[in-house]
Structure 1
Amino acid sequence: MNLKSGYPFSIIKNGIPYNFPKLDHDIETDVVILGSGITGALVRYHLVKAGINCVTIDARTIGFGSTSASTSLLQYEIDLPLYKLTEMIGKKKAERSYQLCDKAINDLAAIAKELNIEDFEAKNSLYYAAYKKDVVWLKKEFKARKEAGFKVDYLNVAEVKKQYGIDCYGAILSHHGALTNAYMFTHNLLQYKAAEASYAIYDRSPVKDIKHKKDGVVLTTESDYTIKANKLIYATGYEVVNYIDEPIVDLLSTYAVVSEQYNERNFWKDEVLIWNTADPYLYIRTTADNRVLIGGRDEEFSDPAKRNKLLKKKTKQLTADANKLFPDLNFIPEFSWAGTFGSTKDGLPYIGSYSKKPNSYFALGFGGNGITFSLIAAQIIRDLIQDKENKDATLFAFER
């Protein structure tokens, strides 16, 4: 599946920082990880830290799927507001889902520190009401977050305007979030013990056949090499529709534009992450090299050609959105792209075993904050492989 269009800024800026070989021989291992984007990289890191022999394989050059198109906002908020999720699955489960995402930001920060990943920065997050009608439920959402223990403030119209210069109908200011570079984070993760044969990584090696057996799995590549393993972890992201015959996810295309580089950093207060209550929602952030990135204007995904055709129009719309939000910004677009992402019925990912695919686990971090979901998936799957109890696994199970 073609997962992106245009020129993702992460590839333009960073190129291909590390090279990996194609698979050119047969392999036997304990675990094989299918997919080496941010999800597969986080899964591999946690398995390697646990001393579990694993091989990672990808059809593309490392990071060239959805990971390269990620805008890399790290937030504990999922696409479904907490109060709505509470109505769907109950207060305890909903709060725990949000709290796990909150913890995931801290865990990602710890990994970034351990691996000396420079492009990681803590940020507050501003969630503003795009329409007057949204104020009622935004206040309900604020109350739900306060009750769940999150550090949040509610800002009225005047306060948002005074502090951030934004014309809106009110906002929630969350005091926990972060920015990173998912593409480089992935590459840095994959460098962890990359030279050891027990944790080998192969890219540009498409898998054409997977056989699930009672005693393990066998993967065959297009070059007819095989990987035999006790367990298989699907970290294929939105291409999972090729492996699961149930409608668990709706595929969408989201668009992003990054500005020309500014001579001086003169952006909004604290350069908070900003997003709104519109559907689809708009989001805007700064970059480490004095740029502004804006994204949104989502469309249902039907085929890459349609997505590509819309890119020019979406670039103009998002540029206008940025300049309307901040009239003095003078946002001038330089690079734009589109990426595929998925949404689920409850805004939560699918993590764990799937009855129709024995000896396998799925790490499917669907949603707007897929990176935090991927971290959660890595920890849950590590525990399941080690036959350790993980009380949070049922939250994201296929059977939920």
Structure 2
Amino acid sequence: MVRKLDLRSGRPVWIAYRAPPVPTGKLTRDIKAEVLVVGMGISGAMMADALARAGHGVVCIDRRGPLLGSTSATTALVQFELDQPLIKLAAIKGKIDAVRAWRRSRLAVVNLRGRIAELGITCNLARLPSLYLAGNLLAPAQLRDESDARRQAGIAATYLTRKALSDSFGIDRAAAILSHDNIALDPRKLTAGLLLSAVGRKARLYAPVEADEIRSDRDEVVVKTGGGPTITARHLVLATGYELTDIIPATAHSIVSTWAIATARQPKDIWPGAALLWEASEPYLYIRTTADDRVICGGEDEDFTDEEHRDALIAEKSKRLAAKLGRLLPKLDTRPEFSWTGSFGTTTSGLPYIGALPRHPRIHAVMGYGGNGITFSQIASEMVSSAIDGLEDVDTDLFAFPAHG
């Protein structure tokens, strides 16, 4: 039922930092649940926390265990700025829907930050400025148009000329957009904290448990697991990341490979403000610091899913990333201490599909994350929780699966 992928390999930087243990039980008999969440990565954790907070009886399963899928592969730049620039998304979806998507993304980052504070989760959260650098996707003139479009949408943006960018941040690029209130964090610590919050509200976690077969009707969903027991639930939420079940429509969706490196700690060479950096380029580069002053750099994305080929490129891609990083920030020691690779899903528009599946109103899913995976997972947790509560989210239509899927 689930298309299995080796979601990541190499040495992600997050293994250097200990996340709290998340206890799981063994599934030894048939059980019932109000809501079954498949997946215990960051999106499953957000779903479990939101649903448990809303008072639902939650069961979570994962074929590996908590935090063992693609969560460790993320660089965890949690940005409201979408991969698809506002002016380009407007050309695809229309101006009104493009603005709605950007505003909802902005709200999601605010809400996630608030939830982390509310629960007191220690995940090295930092609120950082963000610089979107001119590149082959948006030249300086287009970047100025993008800045104007954001401000017209009520989203603060400051256009920086080459001189302003160099004077304030020591970065030599033709232009940039400066934004505020994006965040960076440790994704494993966040995931563990959210799962533990759900457990504190009586959620039940079982692993390793694999969803082998899914059957749904008007009243319930029945999931047969690899070990034999079945789980019967009123609602099913598929938070399997890029391992999509066959029941999810495969249209307008593709799996992409990406690579990342992390340097040694170098507090004296971090650029002013430790701003999050990313490029208006294809393929783009994205750069952040960790709480202990390592530099994480990711990118070099390619449109293929062959895991052996992807993994074989780690050394070559690491060299390329280190070289690009060195050209942008020449004071840095760009030698990788950690190098890794992972796979992620993307859609044509760059927006995810979120909500009930066509012809399966009790099965909810998220498809297509791009570079905003954590932000989109937050949106999904809000929308799916509302749907299960029988409430209409104002952006349901914006992210809905195609009716013909």
TM-score range, shorter chain: over 0.9
Q: CA deviation at 1:235?
A: 0.9
- Map of 2:194 onto structure 1: 189
Q: Tell me if the contact between 2:222 and 2:231 (Cα under 8 Å) persists in the aligned partners.
A: yes
* CA distance in 1: counterparts of 2:136 and 2:337, whole angstroms: 30
- Map of 1:366 onto structure 2: 369
Q: How does 1:346-385 map to 2 (within 5 A)?
A: 346-364=349-367, 366-385=369-388
> Is the counterpart of residue 49 in structure 1 residue 53 in structure 2?
yes
In structure 2, relative to structure 1, the CA distance for the partners of 1:238 and 1:323 (3 Å cut) is same
* CA distance in 2: counterparts of 1:203 and 1:140, whole angstroms: 49
- The one-letter code of the counterpart of 1:307 is R
- The one-letter code of the counterpart of 2:215 is K
Q: How does 1:37-116 map to 2 (within 5 A)?
A: 37-116=41-120
Q: Tell me if the contact between 1:132 and 1:169 (Cα under 8 Å) persists in the aligned partners.
A: no
- Map of 2:287 onto structure 1: 284
* CA distance in 1: counterparts of 2:147 and 2:83, whole angstroms: 15
- Map of 1:309 onto structure 2: 312
Q: CA deviation at 1:203?
A: 2.1
- Map of 1:205 onto structure 2: 209
Point out the more displaced range, 88-97 or 306-315.
88-97
> Is the counterpart of residue 226 in structure 1 residue 234 in structure 2?
no
Q: Deviations over 1:124-149 (max 9, x none)?
A: 10001134972232121111111011
* CA distance in 2: counterparts of 1:96 and 1:83, whole angstroms: 13
TM-score, structure 2 as length reference: 0.94
* CA distance in 1: counterparts of 2:112 and 2:81, whole angstroms: 16
- Map of 2:37 onto structure 1: 33
Q: CA deviation at 1:266?
A: 3.3
Q: CA deviation at 1:281?
A: 0.5
Length, aligned pairs only: 398
Point out the more displaced range, 209-218 or 97-106.
209-218
* CA distance in 2: counterparts of 1:36 and 1:4, whole angstroms: 15
- Map of 2:161 onto structure 1: 156
- The one-letter code of the counterpart of 1:324 is R
In structure 2, relative to structure 1, the CA distance for the partners of 1:394 and 1:161 (3 Å cut) is same
Q: How does 1:226-265 map to 2 (within 5 A)?
A: 226-240=230-244, 242-262=246-266, 264-265=267-268
* CA distance in 2: counterparts of 1:241 and 1:325, whole angstroms: 40
- The one-letter code of the counterpart of 1:128 is L
Q: Tell me if the contact between 1:39 and 1:374 (Cα under 8 Å) persists in the aligned partners.
A: yes
What SS does the aligned partner of 1:283 have? strand
- Map of 1:178 onto structure 2: 183
- Map of 1:329 onto structure 2: 332
* CA distance in 2: counterparts of 1:11 and 1:201, whole angstroms: 23
- The one-letter code of the counterpart of 1:146 is R
Provide structure 2 residue ranges, at least 5 long, that are not aligned to the other structure: none
Q: CA deviation at 1:321?
A: 1.2
Provide structure 1 residue ranges, at least 5 long, that are not aligned to the other structure: none
Q: CA deviation at 1:15?
A: 5.9
What SS does the aligned partner of 2:44 have? helix
In structure 2, relative to structure 1, the CA distance for the partners of 1:245 and 1:92 (3 Å cut) is closer
Q: Tell me if the contact between 1:123 and 1:175 (Cα under 8 Å) persists in the aligned partners.
A: yes
Point out the more displaced range, 21-30 or 103-112.
21-30
Q: Tell me if the contact between 1:5 and 1:307 (Cα under 8 Å) persists in the aligned partners.
A: no
Point out the more displaced range, 15-24 or 353-362.
15-24
Point out the more displaced range, 304-313 or 330-339.
330-339
Q: Tell me if the contact between 2:138 and 2:281 (Cα under 8 Å) persists in the aligned partners.
A: no
* CA distance in 1: counterparts of 2:31 and 2:13, whole angstroms: 35
What SS does the aligned partner of 1:247 have? coil
* CA distance in 2: counterparts of 1:314 and 1:16, whole angstroms: 31
In structure 2, relative to structure 1, the CA distance for the partners of 1:25 and 1:252 (3 Å cut) is same
Q: CA deviation at 1:244?
A: 2.2
Q: CA deviation at 1:193?
A: 4.3
> Is the counterpart of residue 167 in structure 1 residue 167 in structure 2?
no
> Is the counterpart of residue 124 in structure 1 residue 137 in structure 2?
no
* CA distance in 1: counterparts of 2:137 and 2:162, whole angstroms: 11
* CA distance in 1: counterparts of 2:372 and 2:181, whole angstroms: 14
* CA distance in 2: counterparts of 1:38 and 1:191, whole angstroms: 12
- Map of 1:17 onto structure 2: 21
What SS does the aligned partner of 1:52 have? coil
Q: Tell me if the contact between 2:136 and 2:282 (Cα under 8 Å) persists in the aligned partners.
A: no
Q: CA deviation at 1:79?
A: 1.2
Q: CA deviation at 1:365?
A: 5.3
Q: Tell me if the contact between 2:59 and 2:205 (Cα under 8 Å) persists in the aligned partners.
A: yes
- The one-letter code of the counterpart of 1:168 is R
* CA distance in 1: counterparts of 2:368 and 2:110, whole angstroms: 17
- Tell me the percent identity: 38
Q: CA deviation at 1:240?
A: 1.5
Q: CA deviation at 1:31?
A: 0.9
What SS does the aligned partner of 2:231 have? strand
